[in-house]
Amino acid sequence: MSADAARLAEWRTRYPVLGELEAKARGRIPAFLFDYLQGGTGEELSCRRNIDALRSVEIVPRYGIDLSTTDTAAELFGRRYAAPLAISPIGMDGAIWPGASQLLAAAAREAGIGYMMSSMAADSIERVSTVAGERFWFQLYGFAANDHATSFDLIDRAREAGARVLAVTLDIPAPARRVRDMRNGIAMPMRITPAMAVAAVMRPQWLAAVARAGMPRFGNFAHYCRQGAGKAEVDAFVAAGRPGAGVTWEVLARFRDAWPHAMVVKGVMHPGDAEKAVALGLDGVIVSNHGGRQFDPAPAPIDVLPAIRSAVGAEPTILIDGGFMSGTDVLKALALGANGVMAGRAFMLGLAALGEDGARHVIATLMEELRIGLAQTGARTVAGARELAVRHPGAWKSEDFRAAETGSKDASGK
C-alpha cells in the first residue's frame, strides 16, 4: 500500500463521519478563521435549519434487487462525472487553509467530480484551471462598478482558461451581518488585529502552511492592480468593486450573451426565480441560501427543491447546496429532484483538519456513502434514486409561494 493510500485508510478509520472533522479543524486553524468558515448571519438559524432539514428526510429502502450495476456516475451539463457531486466555490479558501484552491482542484480532478472556483478565492483562474483541467467550473460575483467591466473580464478569463460551467451568484444584493466576523473584526479591507495575530501564533501547523503557500489574498484581482501590488491594494480594489452587487435579471441576460457554455445562477430559492433563469436561456440553477450566510429567515434549500423542480420541469439542471455532510444527504437531494449536489464547508473542514489529504478523504467518504445508499435502497444509479419513496416533512408546496413577483408593488403596497 502506498503512503497516500495508507493515510486515507487511516483517516477512514479515525474520521468515518465528516462532522467529526470539526473538532480537529478547530484545533488547527486560528479561531477567527474557524468562525469565518462555520458562521452564518444573524442568529445562525438558517445554518442549523439546513442541517436539520436534511436529517428529517426519510427514504424507504428496497431489497432483493440485483446490485451488479450499482454506479454513482452522473451526467451534468452534457459531461460524465464519477458522481453527482461538485466542490462549491469558497471565498478566501486559502486563508482557511493555505493553498486550498489548488488542493481542491487537484482532488476533484483525481476523483472525476466538478470543482467550482470562487471569484473570491485566494488563487487565480489561470493557475487553478491548469490543475482542475476538464473539471474546472467558475463562480462569478458581479462587480457592479464601471458597468460590470470587471465582471465581463472575469467571464473572458474563465472562458479562455477552459471553464466548462459559469455560475453567477445572485443572492448578495447587500452585505450580510455575519455576527462572528463582526466580533472578530473581519471586514473589507482586511486588517490584522493583535487578537488575530495571537490566534495565528497559536496554530503552528497553519503558520507552516502559510510559509509554504504564501500569505493569502484575492488571487484573481491582482490582475487589475499595478504590478507588485500588496494585499491591502488588492483588497481596496475588491471593496471598491462592490462584489456580488448589481446583478439584476437584465445584467444576467448580458452575462448569458457573453458566455458560450453551460451557465447557471446560484442562490435561487423561489420557483419564480428559477423559471426566470430558464427563460433567460440558462441551463439550470443552484438552489442555495448561501450556506446560511446571507438571510437568516430563509428556508433550507432542500425544503424548496421539490417546488423548484416542479416549476421548471425535468430538463434544466438543478444543483443544490446547504448543509451537505454525507453521501446519504446527496442521495436525499437526488430523490427530491436535484441532478447534483455541491458541498463547501465539508471540504474546507477536511483541509483544515487533515491538510493536503483532507479533500481526498471527504470525496472518498461522500462517494462511499452514496454508493452504499444506492445499494441499500435498491436505486442502484442516480436515475434510480429519483424513483425512491421519500417522506419530506419540511417541504414547501408550490402554493406556499406568493404569486406576486418581487418589485410588483411600491413601498406603500400599491
Q: How far, rounded to the nearest angstrom, does the alpha carbon of residue 199 sit from its chain's CA centroid?
A: 27
Domain that includes residue 296, residue range: 18-396
DSSP character at residue 224: G
- 235-257 confidence digits (pLDDT tens): 888 888 888 888 999 999 999 99
Contact partners, residue 20, CB within 8 Å, separation at least 6: none
What number of other Cβ atoms are within 10 A of residue 342's Cβ? 27
- 13-32 confidence digits (pLDDT tens): 999 999 999 999 999 999 99
C-beta separation of 172 from 290 below 8 A:
yes
Q: What is the mean pLDDT of the chain?
A: 93
Reply yes or no on whether the pLDDT at 79 is more than 90: yes
120, 97, 110, 104: which is closest to 29 by C-alpha?
Answer: 97
Q: Hey, CA dihedral for 262, 132, 123, 196, is it positive or negative?
A: positive
- 94-104 confidence digits (pLDDT tens): 999 999 999 99
Total domains, the chain: 1
Does residue 288 lie in a domain region?
yes
Backbone angles phi, psi at 315, to 5 degrees: -75, -50
Does residue 54 lie in a domain region?
yes
Does residue 199 lie in a domain region?
yes
Does residue 151 lie in a domain region?
yes
Does residue 2 lie in a domain region?
no
Q: Is 361 a catalytic residue?
A: no
CATH number at residue 28: 3.20.20.70
Q: How far apart (Å, rounded) are the C-alpha atoms in residues 16 and 297? A: 32
Does residue 409 lie in a domain region?
no
Catalytic site residue from 148, 270, 290, 361: 290
Query: Strands 58-60 and 389-391, how do they pair?
Result: antiparallel
Does residue 404 lie in a domain region?
no
CA distances from 403 to 258, 272, 306, 384 (A): 31, 8, 17, 33
Tell me what the mean pLDDT of segment 99-119 comes to: 97
Does residue 328 lie in a domain region?
yes
- 305-329 confidence digits (pLDDT tens): 999 999 999 999 999 999 999 999 9
